[in-house]
Amino acid sequence: MSSHSVTLPQLLAPDVAARVAAALADAPFSDGRATAHGGARDAKRNQQLEPAHPLAREHGATLVAALNRSERFMSLALPHTILPFTFAQYEVGMAYGEHLDLPIVGTPNGPLRTDLSLTIFLSPPDAYDGGELVIPGDDGPRTIKGGPGDAFLYPSDTLHRVAPVTRGQRLVAITWIQSLVPDAEQRAILAGIGDSVIAMHTAGAPDADVTRLRQVQHKLLRRWARA
Ligand code: NI
């Protein structure tokens, strides 16, 4: 499993997540297979509210605003473009078998490279059984089931699946991000330097030292960024 996957606890405030979930309770979800390609189409059994739907746009904007406010997300993802959110609902018996997300997706503004995939959990974990996001790995699978508003950010080339829901209903919001820095290792290096800059600043290190480290960070970002 990639070490570049990360949980972002309460990226969205739990009460906001609950409000979004409630607002979408009667939304017109449709068969998710319509937007799956190749092998993913056979593996995909869920219902989706497409990004273009007014309800998805309204509540997706709330989620994008939360992303933009999150220093942790911005530091880890270095987003160039964040795709509009899709809402995915899994009823009992629904699942998404092991698959890879598409490397390039079409958008009204042209093709977008998916560097990062993001899931925001909206349902409370006790509202459903099963439905974990599962990432296979050499040391066994990693299973992720977040509380309302928790997010999981992972490189889009990660093999993953959603376990079958056996009780209740699972609602998540998903999106894909084209990063300014396509390489996961380079993003991790930049985020590590960013953490150190903040830690030095907090510890009261001399400004000149903090600035020197920030200069290194900026040099690497200029070198690695693809605008
Ligand atoms: Ni996927």
Per-residue pLDDT tens over the stretch 11-32: 999 999 999 999 999 999 998 8
Task: Judge if 6-179 and 184-224 fold alike in CATH terms.
Answer: no
At the topology level, CATH places domain 184-224 in DNA Excision Repair, Uvrb; Chain A (4.10.860)
Q: Ligand 1 center to residue 116 CA distance, Å?
A: 11
Cβ-based neighbours of 1, under 8 Å, separated by 6 or more: 135, 136, 137, 138, 139, 142, 158
42 pLDDT exceeds 90? no
Q: Ligand 1 center to residue 117 CA distance, Å?
A: 8
Q: Ligand 1 center to residue 99 CA distance, Å?
A: 6
Query: Do the Cβ atoms of 119 and 5 come closer than 8 Å?
Result: no
pLDDT tens figures, 159-190 = 999 999 999 999 999 999 999 999 999 999 99
34 φ, ψ (degrees, to nearest 5): -60, -30
Give the per-residue pLDDT at 227.
Answer: 83
210 pLDDT exceeds 50? yes
Q: Ligand 1 center to residue 196 CA distance, Å?
A: 33
96 pLDDT exceeds 50? yes
Q: Is the pTM of this model over 0.75?
A: yes
Superfamily of domain 6-179: q2cbj1_9rhob like domain (2.60.120.620)
Q: What average pLDDT score do residues 188-210 get? A: 96
Q: Ligand 1 center to residue 222 CA distance, Å?
A: 31
Rg (CA), the chain: 18
What's the mean per-residue pLDDT of the chain? 94
Q: What average pLDDT score do residues 217-224 get? A: 98
**Secondary structure (H, E, C), the chain:** CCCCCEEECCCCCHHHHHHHHHHCCCCCCEEHHHHCCCHHHHHEECEEECCCCHHHHHHHHHHHHHHHHCHHHHHHHCEEEECCCEEEEECCCCEEEEECCCCEEEECCEEEECCEEEEEECCCHHHEEECCEEECCCCCCEEECCCCCCEEEEECCCCEEECCEEEECEEEEEEEEEECCCCHHHHHHHHHHHHHHHHHHHCCCCHHHHHHHHHHHHHHHHHHCCC
Q: Ligand 1 center to residue 63 CA distance, Å?
A: 19
186 φ, ψ (degrees, to nearest 5): -65, -40
The residues spanned by each domain of the chain are: 6-179, 184-224
Which one is predicted more confidently, 39 or 25?
25
Give the per-residue pLDDT at 1.
Answer: 40
Q: Ligand 1 center to residue 120 CA distance, Å?
A: 13
Q: Ligand 1 center to residue 220 CA distance, Å?
A: 30
Q: Ligand 1 center to residue 114 CA distance, Å?
A: 11
Query: Do the Cβ atoms of 91 and 165 come closer than 8 Å?
Result: yes
Give the per-residue pLDDT at 217.
Answer: 97
Q: Ligand 1 center to residue 174 CA distance, Å?
A: 9
